[in-house]
């Protein structure tokens, strides 16, 4: 509502045009065109507001979500009023680096073709009812692929007129939200807490191997972040404490050439190794694949070389202190 009022002020006071939105209540936003833009992408997808929910979530057609971000992962998302983009966005004032092209609506996709979105969305159930044959087939606990043909999904409508409308559901409800209006992922504050909860869920589900979940977390997230942070640290810039001037490389005297102020690093050692203790503890606790263990040990050696002339890190975890109900965390260093 505040953005709509700002855009109307622009139209009236800057461009001398009539106000467009004239929003008085949230209900006035119904029917307005918005653009969805997921993190780290540069193509927004047009949509239309049809209602509101008392939850920190955006409900929409699965193809709309999939077209914004191919695998629909994470809970970061944004919506922008279409007129706000037209008036207030320009490639003239975004950074020239490749990263500056992210999180910006360089392009807007006005129409979604279900055939062109990720296959995950095609698995969405759009049946109005389940057949008796489906229930009979499930008695032997078959895999989902064995009975998928007995349930109507978006995949069966691709390239047909019905791919755009008449998505079915089997039960009416007075509310599509639950008591918790926010996901646990958004309320947990640290990565360690989020990983712990993810593993806790994996250990309760028979269809999921907790060890495989841990291996996936270490391989696809923690190792990549540690290696990336090490690279950033070794190519970081330096900043003057006094005048805030930024230098690509430190001077020989470690003082600013302009004001003589002390130069400081823009990245700290703690930011580089913050995930290492978590990764090594998980690797030991769940006895992950030897290849993963060796990759972690190689990162430890590289980190020891990177920081060999420095004092031991002051970075600590909550589990390093007694009385927390957990075993102390492992040291970061090896002989």
Cα(231)–Cα(301) distance, rounded to whole angstroms? 14
Beta sheet of 238-240, edge-to-edge order: 246-247, 238-240, 263-265
Q: Give the pLDDT of residue 268.
A: 84
Q: Give the pLDDT of residue 69.
A: 79
Cα(47)–Cα(267) distance, rounded to whole angstroms? 40
180-236 pLDDT, tens digit each: 777 777 778 888 888 888 899 999 988 889 999 999 999 988 999 999 888 888 888
DSSP-based three-state secondary structure for 213: helix
Q: Give the pLDDT of residue 316.
A: 56
Q: Give the pLDDT of residue 289.
A: 92
19-41 pLDDT, tens digit each: 999 999 999 999 999 999 988 88
Q: Which helix (H) or strand (E) holds 138?
A: helix 132-138
Residues of the chain predicted below pLDDT 70:
70-71, 73-75, 308-335
Cα(50)–Cα(29) distance, rounded to whole angstroms? 8
Q: Give the pLDDT of residue 139.
A: 93
- Residue matched to tokens 């990263």: 99
Cα(288)–Cα(286) distance, rounded to whole angstroms? 6
Q: Give the pLDDT of residue 108.
A: 94
């Amino acid at each position: 509502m505040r953005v709509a009022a700002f855009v109307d002020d622009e139209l009236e006071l800057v461009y001398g045009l009539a106000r467009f939105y004239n929003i008085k209540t949230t209900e006035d936003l119904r029917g307005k065109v918005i653009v969805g833009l997921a993190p780290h992408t540069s193509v927004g997808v047009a949509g239309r507001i049809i209602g509101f929910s008392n939850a920190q979530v955006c409900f929409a057609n699965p193809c709309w979500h999939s077209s914004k971000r191919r695998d629909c992962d994470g809970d970061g998302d944004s919506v922008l009023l279409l007129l706000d983009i037209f008036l207030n966005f320009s490639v003239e004032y975004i950074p020239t680096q490749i990263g500056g092209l992210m999180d910006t609506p360089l392009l807007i996709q006005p129409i979604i073709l279900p055939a062109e979105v990720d296959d995950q969305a095609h698995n969405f159930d759009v049946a109005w009812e389940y057949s008796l044959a489906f229930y009979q087939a499930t008695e032997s606990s078959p895999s989902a692929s064995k009975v998928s043909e007995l349930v109507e999904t978006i995949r069966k409508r691709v390239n047909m007129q019905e791919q755009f409308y008449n998505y079915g559901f089997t039960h009416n409800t007075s509310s599509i939200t639950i008591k918790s209006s926010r996901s646990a992922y958004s309320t947990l504050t640290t990565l360690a807490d989020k990983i712990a909860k993810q593993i806790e869920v994996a250990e309760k589900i028979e269809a999921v191997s907790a060890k495989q979940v841990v291996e996936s977390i270490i391989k696809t997230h923690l190792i990549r972040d540690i290696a990336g942070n090490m690279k950033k640290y070794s190519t970081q810039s330096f900043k003057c404490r006094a005048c805030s001037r930024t230098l690509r490389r430190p001077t020989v005297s470690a003082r600013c050439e302009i004001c003589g102020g002390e130069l400081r690093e823009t990245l700290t050692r703690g930011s580089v190794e913050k995930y290492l203790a978590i990764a090594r503890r998980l690797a030991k606790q769940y006895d992950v694949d030897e290849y993963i263990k060796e990759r972690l040990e190689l990162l430890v050696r590289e980190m020891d070389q990177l920081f060999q002339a420095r004092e031991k890190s002051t970075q600590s975890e909550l589990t390093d202190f007694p009385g927390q109900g957990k075993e102390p965390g492992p040291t970061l260093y090896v002989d």
